[in-house]
C-alpha cells in the first residue's frame, strides 16, 4: 500500500525558534517588470525572450542570462 511508503506525521510541538532560510533561490516570474516601471523606462526593462533554440532567457540591456533556478541541459 502507498501508506506504507511514508512515515507517520510527527505530533505538533510548540515553536521555539523561527527558522529563516538564507539559501533559497528566487526565480522571478516573466512578467515581474511589466507595468512596474515608469513608461520612459518600460522598453528597457528586463524581459524573458525565447532563443532560436527554444530556451527562455532573461534579456536586459543587450545581455542575456539564464534563469538561475533552472538547471542547464548539457
Tens digits of residue pLDDT in 4-46: 788 888 899 998 888 887 877 677 888 899 999 999 999 999 9
Rounded (5°) CA angle 37-30-22? 90
32 within domain boundaries: yes
Distances (CA, A) of 40 to 47, 48, 55: 16, 19, 29
* pTM score of the predicted model: 0.54
Q: Report if residue 7 sits inside a domain.
A: no
Number of domains the chain contains: 1
Question: Whole domain around residue 47: which residue ranges?
Answer: 18-74
28 located within any domain:
yes
d(CA 33, CA 1): 47
Residue 3 covered by a domain:
no
Give domain status of residue 4, yes or no: no
Query: Does residue 49 lie in a domain region?
Result: yes
pLDDT at residue 49 tops 70: yes
- Give me the pLDDT at residue 69, please: 52
Residue 10 inside a domain? The answer is no
pLDDT at 62 over 80: yes
Asked if 68 and 27 count as a contact pair (C-beta separation under 8 A), the reply is: yes
Amino acid at each position: 500500500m502507498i501508506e506504507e511508503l511514508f512515515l507517520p506525521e510527527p505530533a505538533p510541538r510548540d515553536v521555539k525558534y523561527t527558522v529563516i532560510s538564507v539559501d533559497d533561490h528566487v526565480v522571478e516570474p516573466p512578467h515581474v517588470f511589466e507595468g512596474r516601471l515608469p513608461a520612459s523606462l518600460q522598453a528597457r526593462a528586463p524581459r524573458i525572450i525565447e532563443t532560436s533554440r527554444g530556451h527562455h532567457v532573461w534579456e536586459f540591456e543587450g545581455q542575456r542570462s539564464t534563469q538561475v533556478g533552472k538547471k542547464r541541459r548539457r
